[in-house]
Amino acid sequence: MSREYLKKAAEISVSSSQDVRNTVMSILDEIETGREEAALRYAQKFDKYDGAAVVTKDEIAQAAAKVPQKLKDDIRFAHDNVRRFAERQLATLGDVEYEVVPGFTAGQKSIPVRCAGAYVPGGRYSHVASAIMTVTTAKVAGCEHITVCSPPRPGVGVNPAILYTADLCGADAILAMGGVQGVASMAFGLFGMPPADILVGPGNQFVAEAKRALFGRVGIDMFAGPTDSLILADASADAEVVAADLVGQAEHGYNSPVWLVTNDKALAERVLARVPELIAELPEPNRDSAAKAWADLGEVILCDSREEMAATSDEYAPEHLTVQAEDLDWWLGRLKCYGSLFLGEETTVAYGDKAAGTNHVLPTSGAARYTGGLSVHKYMKIVTWQRATREGSRPVAEATARISRLEGMEGHARTADIRLRKYFPSTDFDLSAAE
């Protein structure tokens, strides 16, 4: 494969995450032992907040009154789109019942987890959209209880728009608590909440590490790293739009890579010239974040053909993948590794991030090679069952006994033997290990 890097990411040394891991484990251990008292102590230390942990209905109502009506309308619009799309996803999951052999029936059921814990960031950015994405999908999936936690601001509490959104989307309880202490409170079932069966939602490196540490005891949506985005563009693309989309995603943070893959050098050169200009027009602190991300992690890759472009994209396996090129159906059929795909100039990553209906909690750091993003399916357990008549169980029992003995698992074999002797006492079976 022939690639020319017109701009290549700098070689950045990655510092060890062991300090973060040790800090997170220490906090989790202390909160699990000290329960609510320890969680509140960490909330005072890190959130600088000494208010009540559980947000009351009155406080939610007061917060809703502070949200402008136009913003409420926009939030309801986004919530409705996400809800309806999630309902269509849920409809793809059906219970299955199949007669494997005559008289022996196997089945599948989809059962939602009982309690979901959703982390909604509220620090540098107040992620109203994250509340929509995580809570709405859990509600549609049928979770019995949904707990939300979000970092409060000192002396103020949780952002009013986040409170309004979480309540609208179906949260049963909201904790004014961020960071590891918020994640731990949901996982351990503190402040009168049921323990979460799954933890979802984006967060900083400490939140991500807490979810990683708790995985196994609880489910999680995914191991999340910094957000990343890739644009595939040919000569038909508008360089101004491509540049704006790259900058829009670079503002996520200094460690958020953005990539342009193209087969048109003239387009690439126009984008390379325009991106720094657009970054310079951003307000602070967005400008510094985008500038750092573009300088250190931004890449522009020139390929010979659209097939080479697609292969390059699949290798990167981006979280967000935008195609601004001709023949969109070809790209839809060809591309294999991405978290969410945005086909054509008429849509963009920000649409998916905020209001279009697809979920914005997506695999990062190449994880799109093996997993998709958050959906109602993440809240569902796909379980199986079986039932048989005595005649139906006979061939299964015979095969089970012989395979078990071949494997050296005599106890397994005898559970089949006892049924065959009970149901067919006059039959002589050859249940020795298969040769």
Q: Which residues are catalytic?
A: 319-320
Structure tokens at 152: 């409060």
Between CA 127 and CA 159 the distance in angstroms is: 9
Peptide bond into 195 cis (omega under 30): no
Tell me the DSSP string of 64-86: HHHS-HHHHHHHHHHHHHHHHHH
Residue 84 · residue 357 · CB < 8 Å: yes
Between CA 298 and CA 252 the distance in angstroms is: 13
User: CA-based Rg of the chain, rounded to a whole angstrom?
Assistant: 26
Find tokens 């984006």 and name the residue: 202
Q: What share of the chain is helix, strand, coil (3-state, %, to 5)?
A: 50, 20, 35
The β-bridge partners of 136 are none
Half-sphere exposure of 287 (CA within 13 A, CB side): 9
Angle, alpha carbons 99-100-105 (nearest 5°): 45
Neighbours of 406 (CB within 10 A): 13
Between CA 404 and CA 90 the distance in angstroms is: 38
- How does strand 219-220 pair with strand 173-176? unpaired
Dihedral of the CA atoms 349, 130, 247, 352 (nearest 10)? 10
Estimate the crossing angle of helix 18-42 against helix 205-214, to 10 degrees: 90
Dihedral of the CA atoms 147, 39, 157, 205 (nearest 10)? -80
At position 307, the amino acid (one-letter code) is: E
Pick from 61, 66, 63, 43: nearest CA to 53: 43
Neighbours of 400 (CB within 10 A): 20
